[in-house]
Amino acid sequence: MSFGLNPPASGDDELARAISDIRSAIVVARGKILFAAAANHGSNAPRTFPANCRDVICVHASDGYGKDGGISPSAESNDDNFMTLGVGINVDDPKRGERLVSGTSYATPIAAGIAANILSLADGTMDLSNTGSEHLRSGEGMRKAFQLISEKEGKYRYVAPWVNLWNDDWHENGDRINLIRSTFRTEFP
């Protein structure tokens, strides 16, 4: 969910209904992996909805070096505060040409893509039990996987599988493959 909503002003029934509908959809999807953009107002305000829901993995924006991009809300002490690339992304817009964009709305689909790669890799090489595989496919399970592949950067966790586990040529290194397998099997038995 590459959007964020602030609480509705008094009398804004349309926004209140939209938030209620989204909240209901999140409840129905409990156990699924959901991502939402934190917000782009820096420390000037907290996370927006739905990123402030525990059933959703909140995504903050980092620069290309894994450093806080300066646009995300302050990290919260009771959450993982995951971040991935969301600052200075080069896009080719057919109407506006090539340009750089930034925002947690860009970081969110990148985080979802990393999750999809983790699931694909787990299916192909991890040999997880059915229970472990099901757990990995839940929001809490993906949080755990993101913890495994992230690096602490201040109060945030930089989600970058290529830093800790999937470094250069990992797939050609039997010891590295075994480390990745054992790490995931331990966390997802």
Tens-place pLDDT, residues 88-120: 999 998 999 999 999 999 999 999 999 999 999
Contact between 41 and 73 under an 8 Å Cβ cutoff? The reply is yes
Residue 138: inside a domain = yes
In terms of DSSP bridges, do strands 89-93 and 82-85 run parallel, antiparallel, or are they unpaired?
unpaired
**Statement: residue 2 has pLDDT above 80:** yes
Residue 100: inside a domain = yes
Longest pairwise C-alpha distance within the chain: 61
Q: Domain with 110 in it: what CATH number?
A: 3.40.50.200
**Statement: residue 129 has pLDDT above 80:** yes
Residue 38: inside a domain = yes
36 lies in which domain range?
13-187
Percent of the chain at pLDDT exceeding 90 = 71
Residue 100 to residue 92: CA distance in whole angstroms: 9
Residue 63 to residue 112: CA distance in whole angstroms: 17
pLDDT at site 141: 94
Residue 4: inside a domain = no
Structural domains counted in the chain: 1
Give the model confidence (pLDDT) of 146-163 as tens digits.
998 999 989 999 998 887
Name the residue type at position 188: F
Q: Please, what is the angle between helix 139-148 and helix 174-187, to 10°?
A: 140
pTM above 0.85, yes or no: yes
